[in-house]
Amino acid sequence: MKNRIKENIEGYLYILPALMVVIFIYAFPIIKNIQYSFLDLSQQGAPFVGFRNYRVAFTDKTFFISIKNNFTLFLLIPLLVIFSLLFSALLYERLRGWKFYRTVIFLPYVLSITVVGIFFSFFFQGNGVLNMVLRKIGLEFLALNWLGSTKLALPTVMIVILWKEFGYGVVLFLARLMTVQEVLYDAAEIDGAGWFQKLWYITIPQLATVIEFYIFLALITMLSWVFNYIYVITFGGPAQRTYVSEFYIYIQAFRQNSIGVSAVVALFLFFITGLLAIFSYRIRRRLYAEYE
């Protein structure tokens, strides 16, 4: 028992320098955000204003639009999982040219979001490539104001995000499938199982922990990694209908000089992300116990 305690202490001592750096990197901004949330940094001396910044944030209609849009983006997660699952299962069959298809599918993910955003901002313009093609082939009724409509702007951005992000899931799932024993699929084929049966009874159970991990990453992405898409494609428009929480923080901090309000929203995002992390950890433990 004493030897085990000694080994544990030695292990913690080895990781202590790196642990201190990580704690400083993460803890310092959090502490400063908490401090800023109670100050008015737009005035000289940054006076203490209590919960005023919290009242401003939580009574701002635009803030609730931003949060609502973040949760709307969560609707992409089932699509990301389904597309990633189906394409990875197809690539696992090693179709002719599967390595080429894998590269083509993964390529959008490694492209710069700025480049992708600029391209699609021109592609979906009123006189952009998409509408020009639709008009040429006689489908002018489908030539819509994709980015200028308050109803279509966010779904249009969601299409772009789906196109760019699902390639990572395909590669992630495919990497896990490469470690699955092929004897499982051979036995299923001998028993007369079809492709969808193998997908349901073998592929999905084998990918259960990876799917959970990917869902967690996708949740974090939709919650706090979509700023570049909004900034480049729509800049929050039209009429603030494509605001997300990150973009709201940017506008408050750097356009309206309300750093205290932006700190409040940042803390709110940190709290939501923490809850998701705890929830994901508990599910992962249960899945590992079940499929161990």
Residue 38 has pLDDT above 60, yes or no: yes
The band of 13, judged by pLDDT with boundaries at 50, 70 and 90, is: confident
pLDDT tens for residues 26-35? 888 899 999 9
Q: What is the pTM of this model?
A: 0.89
The band of 1, judged by pLDDT with boundaries at 50, 70 and 90, is: low
More confident residue, 277 or 263: 263
Res 4: pLDDT: 65
Residue 291 has pLDDT above 80, yes or no: no
What architecture is domain 61-113+153-291? Answer: Orthogonal Bundle (1.10)
How do the domains of the chain map onto residue ranges? 61-113+153-291
Give phi and psi for 237, each to the nearest 5.
Answer: -85, 180
Res 5: pLDDT: 67
Res 95: pLDDT: 82
Res 189: pLDDT: 86
